[in-house]
Amino acid sequence: MCGIIGYTGYREVSAVLIDGLKKLEYRGYDSAGVALQGSEKLVVTKTAGSVDGLKEMLINLADSHLAGIGHTRWATHGRPTEVNAHPHSSCCEDIALIHNGIIENHSSLKKWLSEEAGHVFRSDTDTEVLAHLIEEYYENDLLLAVRKAAAKVKGSYALVVLSAKEPGRMVCARQDSPLIIGLGERENFVASDIPALLAYTKDTIILEDGEFASITKNDVQLYNQEGNIIHKDVFKITWDVESAEKGGYEHFMLKEIMEQPVAVRETLRQRLDMETGEVTLDELDFNQEELANLEKIYILACGTAYHAGLVGKFILEKLAGIPVEVDVASEFRYRDPIINKNQLAIVISQSGETADTLAALRLVKSKGVKVLAITNVVGSSVSREADQVLYTWAGLEIAVASTKAYLSQLAALYLLSLYFADKRSGLANNLAHELAAGLVALPGQLKLLLNDDNLQEIKRYCEKLAKWDRAFFVGRNLDFPVAMEGALKLKEISYIHAEAYAAGELKHGPLALIEEGVPVIAIATQKHILEKTLSNVQEVKARGGDVFMITKKAFAESFKKGEACFYLPDSAEILMPVLSAVVTQLIAYYTAVIRGSSVDKPRNLAKSVTVE
């Protein structure tokens, strides 16, 4: 949840670090710091504020540094204060390090280091233990000291370490927390995520769990746990610097909402024949017999990815006829679920680094269940630990509130359902053809949906909604998971307390919350239950609820003139969640902008939750 960066080379070190940290602030932004390495000593500068504040503090610092490390924090252990900010140093201040992750056995190590080895601790963090541990083992070989320290540690870490005695050298270690090395000419980089590197290089090496690296400006050496040199492929990033910037939009979130037609098209590309609607998923290799014997699918995920899974359940059951259970990963991993080999686990994760989802993945794998990952980040932990991966090609998603990744997860689940249906029973039924044809039209329909008139219409509704501190989303059947996602989006960026209910559930309690003017967003896109949903909406209106309908153009005659209705383009009903979700995203976005909240970096949240 923190952003880390390291650099050694010919450029102005502090400038590279600050630039990289700015691009990593979406990972955590409650405090920041850098350590700059001169020919003799390390200079550590930290602040309990933003990277901009840190930049101010570095202005007068002469720049004759050989290497440096920088960190932007999202506190887990120790409040966001200057002393708890990274980098953390050893007693003699000749070792400094930055860390992303959690050291689970930090208390016992701290006790040993302070009581038996005489180390003096400055902060309340788990991380500082590492600086003293490395100092304890240091005998003029930083790599060896880091390896020895890592062997003592339990937990997750992406680590970059400097020693004042080894000018120009950075040593890194990775366990359960992302770390990428960027390769350059007479310079090299290391960072927790791609945006920090893109301005300088597209050639990267992804460090895996248990691996170490020794980096100087002219050399990158990789080592395994045993300290043997290993070789790894260079991975070329296809994203450009621009995609890391806002592309002219006020917020990354709006840019990413507007990128959804492309994100869905790219995710369908080479997998859906836009002529015939035929689906080929070459990256998957499920055999007929395996799928025929499949008794059950578990979908495991968190947050928005979990909501995509709820839509996936409907589609997979309807098209492939396989029973699907969708679980919140943080609950699944401690629920002792009934697992056996005739099941498949689909884990969904935009970042591919969410700790609870990763743990759920490892749990089912340990019981011999095959795991298929749907993720957006190549080389992420989930992608490397799953048996098979279906990547969403949504591109880099920076805003904490997930939008284009969610829509591309839905697209991936539609493809997967057609693939399983075809493998299990052939695509005889009309629904499969309707879906395939609908998918072909989807990118174009999304583009249409995101036209200016629609944006203005939604913005007008949000002027009213923004005045409230609570709101409700209701829907039935396939509309209910979208109502849940809409409520999550509004909650996480506008801080309005929004709740989603299955419309049929209202009269069993939630209806008590409806009073004059309370905003209720009702989603009705499914013909076979339209009347049921509309009668629930009447119950709300009867208690003074102020209803905003999201429905299909085809259902217009069911509504009176003047009723607040947003009409979606007509598409296959099974595909409507993709279109209705976009409207709920825009409602959250414009309401948050009107309420002045920090849209891309909402309080208390982070883009990738790498601790449980």
The residue written with tokens 């680590």 in the block is: 159
> DSSP 3-state assignment of 110?
helix
Cα(571)–Cα(379) distance, integer angstroms: 35
Specify whether the CB–CB gap between 537 and 547 falls below 8 A: yes
Q: Which is nearer to ligand AGP, 402 or 551 (CB)?
A: 402
**Segment near ligand AGP (CB under 6 A); pick from 351-359, 365-373, 427-435, 470-478:** 351-359
**Segment near ligand AGP (CB under 6 A); pick from 273-281, 299-307, 318-326, 366-374:** 299-307
Q: Which of 22, 23, 46, 607 is catalytic?
A: 607
Specify whether the CB–CB gap between 90 and 134 falls below 8 A: yes
Q: Which is nearer to ligand AGP, 18 or 399 (CB)?
A: 399
Tokens of 531: 């009347």
Using CB atoms, what's the residue nearest to ligand AGP?
A: 303
Q: Which is nearer to ligand AGP, 398 or 506 (CB)?
A: 398
Relative to beta strand 170-175, strand 211-215 is antiparallel
Which amino acid is located at 389 in the chain? V
Of the candidates 6, 28, 58, 60, the residue with the CA atom closest to the CA atom of residue 200 = 6
Q: Which is nearer to ligand AGP, 107 or 598 (CB)?
A: 598
Q: Is 312 in the site for ligand AGP (CB under 6 A)?
A: no
Tokens of 560: 């009176």
Q: Which is nearer to ligand AGP, 9 or 309 (CB)?
A: 309
Q: Which is nearer to ligand AGP, 6 or 303 (CB)?
A: 303
CA dist 228 to 153, 161, 173, Å?
A: 20, 19, 14
Lay out the site mask for ligand AGP across 226-265 (x = CB under 6 A, - = otherwise): ----------------------------------------
> Which residue in the set 51, 102, 153, 305 belongs to the binding site for ligand AGP (CB under 6 A)?
305
Q: Which of 2, 172, 302, 565 is catalytic?
A: 2
Q: Is 609 in the site for ligand AGP (CB under 6 A)?
A: yes
Cβ neighbours of residue 547 closer than 8 Å, sequence gap 6 or more: 520, 521, 522, 537, 540, 541, 563, 564
Q: Cβ 365 to ligand AGP, closest distance in Å?
A: 17
Q: Is 608 in the site for ligand AGP (CB under 6 A)?
A: yes
Cα(254)–Cα(243) distance, integer angstroms: 13
111 catalytic residue (yes or no): no
Which amino acid is located at 14 in the chain? S
Q: Is 354 in the site for ligand AGP (CB under 6 A)?
A: yes
552 catalytic residue (yes or no): no
Determine whether 201 is exposed, middle or buried from the number of CB atoms within 10 Å of its CB (0-12, 13-18, 19+): middle
**Segment near ligand AGP (CB under 6 A); pick from 222-230, 250-258, 345-353, 549-557:** 345-353
> Which residue in the set 267, 304, 417, 533 belongs to the binding site for ligand AGP (CB under 6 A)?
304
Q: Is 267 in the site for ligand AGP (CB under 6 A)?
A: no
Site for ligand AGP in 387-446 (CB under 6 A): 400-402
Specify whether the CB–CB gap between 293 and 342 falls below 8 A: yes
The residue written with tokens 């080999």 in the block is: 341
Q: Is 587 in the site for ligand AGP (CB under 6 A)?
A: no
Q: Residues touching ligand AGP: how many (CB under 6 A)?
A: 15
Tokens of 529: 């239950």
Q: Cβ 306 to ligand AGP, closest distance in Å?
A: 7
Q: Cβ 587 to ligand AGP, closest distance in Å?
A: 14
Greatest C-alpha distance within the chain: 80
- DSSP-derived letter for residue 71 is E
Q: Which is nearer to ligand AGP, 287 or 604 (CB)?
A: 604
Cβ neighbours of residue 318 closer than 8 Å, sequence gap 6 or more: 417, 431, 574
Which residues of the chain form contacts with ligand AGP (CB under 6 A)?
302-305, 349-351, 354, 357, 400-402, 492, 608-609
Catalytic positions, please?
2, 607
